[in-house]
Structure 1
Amino acid sequence: MSGKGTHGSSIGTTTPAEHPEKIRNVALVGRSGAGKTMLTEALLAATGAINRMGSILDGTTVSDSDPSEIHQQRSVTLSVLPIVVDDVKVNLLDTPGYADFVGELRAGLRAADAALFVVSAVDGVDVATTALWAECERIGMPRAVAISRIDHPRARYEAVLAECQDAFGSSVLPLYLPIRRAGTITGLLGLLSGTVSDYTAGAPRPVRRPATEAELSGAESARAVLIEGIIAESEDETLMDRYLGGDEIGLDTLIADLEIAVARGSFLPVLATSAETGVGVTELLEVVTGAFPSPVERGLPSVTARDGQPVGPLACDPAGPLVGEVVRTTIDSFLGRVCLVRVFSGTIREDSTVHIGGHASAERGRTDHDSEERVTHLQFPLGSALHPAPYCVAGDICALTRMSSAETGDTVSSRETPMRVTPWEMPEPLMPVAVQAATHGDEDALARNLAKVAAVDPTLRVEWNAETHQLILWCMGEAHAEVVLDRLRGQGVKVQTVGVITPLRETFARAVSARGRYVKQSGGHGQYAICDIEVEPLERGAGFEFVDKVVGGVVPGQYIGSVEKGVRAQMQKGVSAGFPVVDIRVTVVGGKAHSVDSSDAAFQAAGALALREAAAASRIQLLEPVSVVTITVPDGSVGTVMNDLSTRRGHLTGVTSVGDARSEVTVEIPDAELLRYAIELRALTAGSGRFRRAYLRHEPAPSNVVTDSVTL
């Protein structure tokens, strides 16, 4: 930081770190287009990890190997890009900026010990970035802000700085101010040191010199606010009194207090950067290595033993018990399953045998699972490139290739003392996409490769709907669905999307009587069963009732249950549109039997026929599923969201303030209106809206829904 010497750099991405104190894990967070990838490249180029700017973007060095990402030219996956600065290994975790890939972002936060928010000086702060900031604040993640693209013709640094302070809080303060000469930013003024980082020479690192009087003019107020902000977070309670009393606080004291406050997340520095010119890159590296916490300073996630019992607090100690977590999984055609692992405790060594354990996840169809695998290939990642390594110590991140069972979220531990890390919270996918194999011959390939795609993507939920006979992919949004389909097609699977069918229910609109007659005589033993039934509708949610009112034994007692079986079987098949029948009472009132030809099977068939005959004589009402939906939105979007819900046949049940200028809107709404709501809510709220849903009941469907068979 200001006042320190310029950091040296070296290429050392393939060398294992020896001590956790010499590691920094930093997640780069920000909206798409904020400049995260460009800034990452500038940091890599400044430290010699890549030869030139642009090699990530053009794919010549460390581009992501995901074909969907290359095809779509957008970052959709978590990438780890390590650099070495003054013997400190910095793992830069470049996270996606698209809302559809928040699962990858949360994986990056799990692997990181600090977050660098990249905010464009052109576009400013959006509501999605504010929501991500709040998420980091909730988990106590130390943060800093890099205002990027400060040399863009439409850059508005001062205004965006004010936006950051308004959105993120008063503890967000700049360490440097840009210096302009003839309209061009040529350097940065260090507010603490009073020195200038001069980038006019065009060298990778700036020349440090004392600021001139002209450069210092106008910076007194910003410097005073910065010093007061640092002192307010100081552990020395006498410092503020001394400062207000006129004492000059030493630069070393201010920098030391600044670094402590940043590491514990109570002070949030702002840096001005330009990836194109390199302005601010050196200063950013100083903050990352000097102020961001090492893994030793951050608490570890909770861990349980194999039997679920809590394990005592673990330390980030290379000599401790092995505990790591798979934060990302990919499938490579040559390397097989590649698992990105953050090591929290212990050391992973090549040629060792480890335990792989995972928690049950009902929504993803996973049960608790355990296996043992040999670490045959341990490597350090540089984007999609991998470099062999003999071991990986606590606090570092490595890649294990050719793994057969590990999935994202699984725990890697020693086979002697298996453990499980409590999984991080994953977002719920809420946009259904129905898919099918393009040809009958592709069905096996679809099932096989879909299992692989689901194993590497914890935000994807695969469901076979037995009622509609559709394979449903529950995705985060359109972009996520496109990536999933591209991954399947990249495996040679011919797959196509079809309209999602909402599973309806059928019920009787009025009471009716009917007879089921199943009589067959074809020589030899025949089939004979006749039953008379009455069907009447029940209130919604009442289910099914079966009543026996047969008198005189016209239907023998042993066949009453057969009639019920036949009725129930027909209810599952449906009587009109092929959907299950619900909320009816069926009463058996009479019938006939034969002493020789009657049987259980015959009366089951008669019961089914009787229900079909009753349906033909009555009006069948189709019922559609209705869910209770809770939508969390900024207060300013409540009116817009409520107006939209009214067009979706929603029944508003309440609006509640939940703090932080956000409200929860609760509504009952048909499922047919929610198929694309994940996308539409995002558009209505500029990406800040969230919702969750739960099945409530079935209600009569309007005529247009019935006519369209709810295929959308």
Structure 2
Amino acid sequence: MDCTKVRNIAIVSQNGSGKTSLAEAMLFTAKATKRLGKVDDKTSCLDFEPEEQKRGITISTAFHNLKWQKNSVFLMDTPGEDNFIAEAKIALRVADSVIFVVDAVDPVKPQTLKVWSMIKEAGIPVLLFVNKMDKERADYKKAIDAIGEALGVRVVPLAIPIGKEASFKGLVDLVKMKGVGGDIPEDLAEEAEALRNNLIEFAAESEDELLEKFLEGGELTQEEVLRGLKSGVQGVRFVPAIPGSALETIGVSTLLDLIVGLLPSPVDRGEVIGKNPKTKEEETREPSPDAPFSGLVFKTMIDPYAGRLSILRIFSGTLTPDGAVYNPNKDSQERYSQIFVLEGKEQKSVDEAGPGMIVAIQKLKEVATGDTLCSPQEPIQYDFVELPTPVLTYALKPKSRGDEEKINQALSRLKEEDPTLVVMRDQQTNELLISGNGQIHIDATISKMKEKFGVNVDLTLPKIPYRETIKAVKKGVIYRHKKQTGGAGQFAEVHFDISPLKRGEGFEFEEALVGMNVPRNFVPAVEKGIQEAMQSGPLAGFPVVDVKVRFYDGKSHEVDSSEMAFKIAAIQCFKKGVLEAKPVLLEPIYKLTIYVPDENVGDVIGDLNSRRGKVMGMEPAGAGMQVVQALVPLAEVQRYVLDLNSMTQGRGTFQMEFSHYDEVPPNIAEKVIQQAKEETED
């Protein structure tokens, strides 16, 4: 296969810019589909999941391909909704270039900077499509100026619109200098000429040879202009832009021309860097069908008919049916039969696949998202992307006993498809927790559980894993356990010194017995009793931490003493001592790193203060953003993502990680203790 004739493109935008509509228009224009799919009519072949159709948004990256001018173009339609933006980040990891779609009426939206930062991090060539030019108040020049200023990039128009708003009917292709959908109108001739000269200047700047010719007054040929533009675009020196309307398919054929004319093939991108799985030293692969096979699995799909599909971007070599691949991440080898290319929810088998192609392989048992697949003889391993940490957590409660049995299997399958989901069992509260990137992410996951697996659950905010400790030393705590029944009695007496440890030191047991008051064979039972008592503290039933117990004396009975008697005595003595050593409640404190627009910093800091937070520092993050670091009790930020979105119109983001435990203020501790006692009584 000819890898120079392959294009691999991620279509990226903020939600509501018409990205899926553009992908549908590209497929229809290239005759890859027979009708123009529309999101609003639920006829889109890319947004085919029930949850996507219900919400009218892309939730999961969809795949298709088309032919244009004898080139194979592989499309990845990514989500724009912030809850699912990690899907776009993953697609950018394997794409060779990106179509960045913006709304001509409202080009710079709250999440535009976030989307652009991911594109910039990927470092791949960009083509800007200014969509919805047929809408009221659409203004091409204002849109590209606003994008250039907001993103700090040089935007070079390669086309201008013919007509405005409802009368938008075509465009002037400045590269070919001809009208598309009509002749160049006289009133646009002067503007087109000026922008054509601007375009030539950018083309000339891209190559020394062209620049020299241009500065000496020579006229660049059409071929040289294209060469210079291609060099500038692929070197990410500027962002070319064209206007259009996806729903009216205006500008789409020009976009396809530019994709095959300016955007890079795998060969243009050059060798791919990985590492040797054994030596960890850098290795490279040429994007050639003759090189050793290698690819990166960047998505997993569970298809109701085909089963588990591992979707991979091929970086090097040729994949043919009925072979074996090596997975260096798992150090395992697996056989496979067919290879598919994806066309929306359909799959089409192919006889071979090479560099740049996106293909799917069925039923690879041990392969997960992020794994490399390669030739068993010449292994290589590629890095994946760092996924965002979840920002919202709920406790899952099955609605029935039947759901309880199916819940783990359903969550396991959903996690395979969505690696940004985190599912865990809290060891302290015993709650099953699900964490995601926002409310819509969690809600969509719960809907999928119901629709795909028939599992119904309720969501509640997780219990806070409070703990108990002591602040004072209490010496000489004595407890005697004595019980006389018809048969053998029970007798044990223990003497403890109880003292606090530094935060985070856990538990220390010191056996300091002298004499023979307590036989040493009962010491393990005493320690075991204390550890059992620590599981449920006397204040509110939360675990006790950071305590030292010194077992220095006691009494025993040669007949009635037993391990059980000493264990019971130890439990009661410990509880008694804790209550006499100024017990306090501890709560988990989290470190928040918050990215905030300059104009919202005051609101965010004020809000953190109201949540008992401590602002630890603030510094500029560039692009009109600040980074605020704060320590805040978990109890105050369980739904922080929703409040931050509200305060910053969706532009603020944050990460949170556990920092330490700290004492709960007395007034709040009193309420927590009271609530815990009421729950115990219930």
In the TM superposition, residue 506 of structure 1 has moved relative to its aligned partner by 0.6
1:178 to 139, 142, 161: 161
1:217 alignment partner in structure 2: 190
Specify which of 176, 183, 200 is matched with residue 227 of structure 1: 200
Query: What SS does structure 2 have at the residue aligned with 1:289?
Result: helix
Partner of 2:16: 33
DSSP 3-state at the match of 1:421 = coil
Task: Give the equivalent residue in structure 2 for 1:203.
Answer: none
- 1:422 matched to 2:370: no
1:663 aligns with 2:621: no
Alpha-carbon displacement from aligned partner over 1:238-272 (angstroms, at most 9, x marks no partner): x4455355433333211210012112222210010
More deviation in 59-68 or 44-53?
59-68
How far 1:174 moved relative to its partner? 0.6
**SS of equivalent to 1:403:** coil
Shift of 1:405: 2.9
CA change 1:243–1:378 in 2 (3 A) is closer
1:417–1:192 Cα change, 3 Å: closer
Q: Which secondary structure does the structure 1 equivalent of 2:566 belong to?
A: helix
User: What's the secondary structure of 1:530's corresponding residue?
Assistant: strand
Q: Name the SS for the 1:598 alignment partner.
A: coil
The alignment status of 1:498 with 2:460, answered yes or no, reads yes
Give the whole-Å Cα distance in 2 for the aligned partners of 1:429 and 1:181.
43
| TM-score of the aligned structures, taking structure 2 as reference length | 0.92
- For the 8 Å contact 1:194–1:216, the answer to whether it is kept is no
What residue number does 1:532 align with?
495
Partners of 1:525 and 1:414 lie apart in 2 by 73
Q: Does 2:119 align with 1:146?
A: no
What one-letter code is carried by the residue in structure 2 that aligns with 1:472? L
Distance, in Å, in 1 between the alignment partners of 2:375 and 2:564 is 58
The structure-2 alpha-carbon separation of the partners of 1:243 and 1:414, relative to structure 1 and needing over 3 Å to count, comes to closer
Deviation of the 1:183 alpha carbon: 6.5
- Secondary structure of the residue that 2:381 maps to in structure 1? strand
Q: Which moved more, 1:528-537 or 1:463-472?
A: 528-537
Letter in 1 for 2:173: G
Counterpart CA distance in 2 for 1:637 and 1:658 is 14
Asked whether the 8 Å contact 1:323–1:346 carries over to 2, the reply is yes
Distance 2:10 2:500 in 1: 58
Alpha-carbon deviations, 1:259-291, whole Å to 9, x = none?
A: 121122222100101123322111111110111
Report matched runs for 1:445-484 at 5 Å: 445-484=406-445
Aligned residue in 2 for 1:637: 600
Distance in structure 1 (CA, Å) of the matches to 2:425 and 2:156: 52
Closer/same/farther in 2, CA of residues 183 and 595 from structure 1, 3 Å limit: closer
Q: Residue 385 of structure 1 aligns to which amino acid in structure 2?
A: E
- Higher deviation after alignment, 441-450 or 472-481: 441-450
Q: Which residue of 1 aligns with 2:671?
A: 707
User: What do you get for the CA RMSD once the two structures are aligned?
Assistant: 2.6
The secondary structure found in structure 2 opposite 1:339 is strand
Any conservation in 1 of the 2:14–2:115 contact (CA below 8 Å)?
no
- 1:331 aligned residue: 302
- How far does the alpha carbon of each residue in 1:175-210 deviate from its partner, in whole angstroms, 9 at most, with x for none? 1111227961232223344322225xxxxxxxxx5x
Within the candidate set 679, 683, 686, 2:642 is matched to: 679
Q: 2:353 aligns with which of 392, 408, 429?
A: 392
**Separation in 1, partners of 2:511, 2:407:** 48
Whether 1:508 aligns to 2:481 is no
Q: Say which SS state the counterpart of residue 130 (structure 2) adopts.
A: strand
- What amino acid is the match of 2:317? G
Change (3 A) 1:640 1:233: farther
Q: Kindly provide the amino acid, as one letter, of the partner of residue 261 in structure 1.
A: G
Taking a change above 3 Å as real, the CA distance of residues 278 and 442 of structure 1, as seen in their structure-2 partners, is closer
Contact 1:20/1:396 (<8 A) preserved: no
The alpha-carbon distance between structure 1 residues 245 and 706, as it changes in their structure 2 partners (threshold 3 A), is: farther
Could you tell me whether the CA contact under 8 Å between 2:272 and 2:284 is conserved in 1?
no
Identity %: 32
Closer/same/farther in 2, CA of residues 212 and 480 from structure 1, 3 Å limit: closer
Counterpart position of 2:51: 68
- 8 Å CA contact 2:134–2:166 kept in 1: the answer is no
- Pair 545,402 (structure 1): closer, same or farther in 2 beyond 3 Å: closer
Contact 2:138 2:164 in 1 (8 A): no
> What corresponds to 2:400 in structure 1?
439
SS of aligned partner of 1:189: strand
Check if 1:563 corresponds to 2:526: yes
The aligned counterpart of 1:315 is: 286
User: Whose RCO is larger (CA < 8 A, sep 6+)?
Assistant: 1
SS in 1 for 2:208: coil
| Alpha-carbon offset, residue 601 of structure 1 | 3.7
Deviation above 6 Å: which 4+ runs of structure 1?
A: 709-712
Q: Residue in 1 aligned with 2:338?
A: 377
- 2:46–2:63 contact (8 Å) kept in structure 1: no
Q: Is the 8 A contact 1:165 1:173 kept in 2?
A: no
Q: Give the AA of the match of 2:643.
A: E
Structure 2 residue corresponding to 1:282, chosen from 250, 253, 256: 253
Q: Per the alignment, do residues 680 and 357 of structure 1 end up closer, same or farther by CA in structure 2, a change over 3 Å counting?
A: farther
Q: Do the aligned partners of 1:57 and 1:63 also contact (CA within 8 Å) in 2?
A: no
2:92 touches 2:122 (CA, 8 Å); kept in 1?
Answer: no
Which digits, 9 at most, give the CA deviation of each residue in 1:56-115, with x for residues without a partner? 664557244433223333210001121100110111110000111122111211221001
Q: Deviations over 1:119-147 (max 9, x none)?
A: 00122112422222222223321111100
Once residues 465 and 143 of structure 1 are traced to their aligned partners in structure 2, the CA distance between those partners, rounded to angstroms, is 44
Kindly indicate whether residue 544 of structure 2 is the aligned counterpart of residue 581 of structure 1. Answer: yes
Evaluate the alpha carbon distance shift between residue 706 and residue 476 of structure 1 in structure 2; reply closer, same or farther with a 3 A threshold: farther
Instruction: Give the 3 Å change call, closer, same or farther, for CA 300–667 of structure 1 in structure 2.
Output: farther
Between 130-139 and 55-64, the greater mean CA deviation after superposition: 55-64
Question: 1:26, CA displacement in angstroms?
Answer: 0.8
Match of 2:230 in 1: 259
- Asked if 2 retains the 8 angstrom alpha-carbon contact of 1:543 and 1:582, the reply is yes
1:514-570: CA deviation from partner (whole Å, max 9, x where unpaired)? 433333444655442111224344554454344455554433444344323321221
For residue 348 of structure 2, give the secondary structure of its aligned residue in structure 1: strand
The CA distance in 2 between the partners of 1:520 and 1:418, in whole Å, is: 70
Measure the CA separation in 1 of the matches of 2:137 and 2:172: 21
Query: Cα–Cα, structure 1 residues 221 and 641, in superposed 2: closer, same or farther, change >3 Å?
Result: farther
**1:707 aligned partner, one-letter code:** K
* Structure 1 position 403 matched with structure 2 position 364: yes
Which whole-Å CA distance do the structure 2 matches of 1:132 and 1:139 have between them? 11
Structure 2 contact 133–164 (Cα < 8 Å) conserved: no
- The equivalent residue for 1:122 is 105
CA contact (8 A) 2:89 2:118 kept: no
What is the CA–CA distance in structure 1 between the aligned matches of 2:639 and 2:25, rounded to whole Å?
Answer: 39
Alignment check: 8 A CA contact 1:378 1:399 kept: yes
Q: Distance in 2 between matches of 1:185 and 1:557?
A: 93
Residues of 2 paired with 1:628 and 1:295: CA distance?
42
Residue pair 1:516, 1:608 contacting (<8 A) in 2 also? no
Distance change >3 Å, CA 63–CA 662, structure 1 → 2: closer
Cα separation, 2, equivalents of 1:104 and 1:80: 12
SS in 2 for 1:607: helix
- Distance in 1 between the 2:662 and 2:165 partners? 69
| Structure 2 CA distance for partners of 1:30 and 1:706, relative to 1, 3 Å | farther
